[in-house]
Chain A
C-alpha cells in the first residue's frame, strides 16, 4: 500500500512511491502545495514541518534547516523520504521576487529594504 502525504495548509493529499522524496512525488503527479526550487536541499523554498509520521532526511543545507529545527521535525520536501504516511505543514515560500512598491526585489521572510550607500 503506498504512502500518503497530507498537506495541512491546503488540506490536500497525494501518494508517494517507495523511496521517493515528497517533492518529487508531488511534481510527478502535477500537484501543487509545496513550492519547488532547486530540488537539491540547498535553497530552502520547499521547507516543511512534519507534524506526524516516520521519515528520514537526506543531506540538507544547514543554511535552510538548523540541527535544532531538524530535531523538531522541520525538513526540506526535496530531501524528505517518508517511511509511513506523513502529515506536513508547508513553511517555505517562493518569493514575490519583484515588487516595486516594496523597493525592488525582495525575498520571502526578509525585510524588503533596498539599502543605499549614502
Chain B
C-alpha cells in the first residue's frame, strides 16, 4: 500500500519555563538545529535529515507540557476531506482553522481537540528548506553535528482519559492502524494503544490515565544502538536529568533512553524497532507482563517512568 492520507508527525509544540535553557538543551544536548525565532518569541528547530522548515516549536510559558502536535497530510484535498469528517464527528472538539503563515513557511492548519484532551493539527504544506546533506549525491551524514543528533522527530506518547474515543478518532477517521496495545484485567481493558499511519511501529501512542491532555514524551530517531549508548554518555557529560535507560522496549522493540529537558518535559532518543505493514496482526501485551513489555531487560515497572508527566 502506498502511503496516503496522514503521512507522518510533522511538528510538536512544547511549553518551557526558561527559553534559553531549553534552546541550549534542544540544540547542544539533543542536537537539533535552531532554524528561526518569530515575533512571538517562539523558537523553531529541525533535525538534520528533515526536509521541511521545522519540526519542533518551543515557547516560554508558566507551565511545562505540550501545546499541540501536527500531522502532515498528503494533499490539500485530503486536508479538506479529513477536516470535514472531523467537523462532522463528536470525537473532535474545539475545531478551528489556523491561517497559512501562522507557523512560518507553513500552509493552513486544521486544529482540533481529541477525546483525551490533546490538541492535534493537520496541514498539507510546509516549505522544503532541505536536509543538511542535500538531495544530489549526498553524503550519509553531515559534518558539525552536535549532541545526540537524531535524524528526525519521530513520535509522541501522550496520557489521557478517554482512550477509546481517541483510538476511534485516529483509526476510523484518520486511518491509523493499531500496531500494538496493552490490555489489563479480566475484561482486557485497553490501557495503551500504539498507532501507526506509516511503516513505523508507532507514530503516536496513548496511555489511559484519569486526566486530560498530559504529555509523556516526544521522541527522536537515532541510527543505532551505539548512538543510543553515546546519547547516554552525553546525558552524563552535560549533566542532563536522566529518566531511564539505555534499555530495550518489548513494545515496538525499540532501543531507547529517556531524559528530561530543563522544564521537565520528557524526551526519548531511540533506534531499531521494526517495519510495520498494514497486514501485520496487532501485537497485544497483558498487564501481568507489563514489566518486560515496557523495559525488556530489567522486566520491572518503573514508577517514575509511568507516573511523571507534564
Contact = CB atoms under 8 A, between A and B. Distances in A.
A35 B307 CA distance: 11
A63 B287 CA distance: 30
A105 to B, nearest CB: 5
B191 A40 contact: no
Interface stretch (B49-57, B171-179, B257-265): B257-265
Contacts of B282: none
B106 interface: no
B306 interface: yes
B310 A43 contact: yes
Contacts of B309: 43
Nearest to B62: A62
Interface residues of A, number: 35
B241 A104 contact: no
Interface stretch (B71-79, B149-157, B161-169): B161-169
B17 A43 contact: no
A105 B66 CA distance: 21
Contacts of B307: 37, 45, 94-95, 97, 107-108
B261 A104 contact: no
Nearest to B65: A63
B65 A100 contact: no
Nearest to B165: A117
Given A97-B301, A98-B306, A61 B263 contact: yes
Contact of B308 (A45, A61, A110): A45
A79 to B, nearest CB: 9
A112 B184 CA distance: 14
Interface string A84-114: 0000000000111110100111111011111
Contact of B162 (A41, A42, A115): A115
A98 B301 contact: yes
A60 interface: yes
B208 A114 contact: yes
Given A42-B64, A104-B191, A116-B164, A111 B210 contact: yes
A40 B264 contact: yes
Contacts of B189: 103-104, 114
B84 interface: no
B308 A38 contact: yes
B211 A107 contact: yes
A100 B185 contact: yes
A39 B260 contact: yes
Given A40-B241, A43-B310, A59-B17, A113 B210 contact: yes
Nearest to B242: A39
B303 A61 contact: no
A105 B208 contact: yes
A68 to B, nearest CB: 14
A82 to B, nearest CB: 20
Of A62, A96, A113, A115, most B-chain CB atoms within 10 Å:
A115
A81 interface: no
A104 B185 contact: yes
Given A37-B307, A114-B191, 4 more contacts: A41-B17, A43-B308, A95-B307, A96-B303
Interface of A: 35-43, 45, 59-63, 94-98, 100, 103-108, 110-117
Considering the complex of A and B, which 6 residue pairs feature the smallest CB-CB distances, nearest first?
Answer: A42-B264, A38-B264, A40-B264, A95-B307, A42-B64, A97-B306
11 contacts: A38-B241, A40-B261, A41-B17, A43-B264, A61-B264, A94-B304, A97-B303, A100-B184, A103-B185, A104-B184, A111-B210
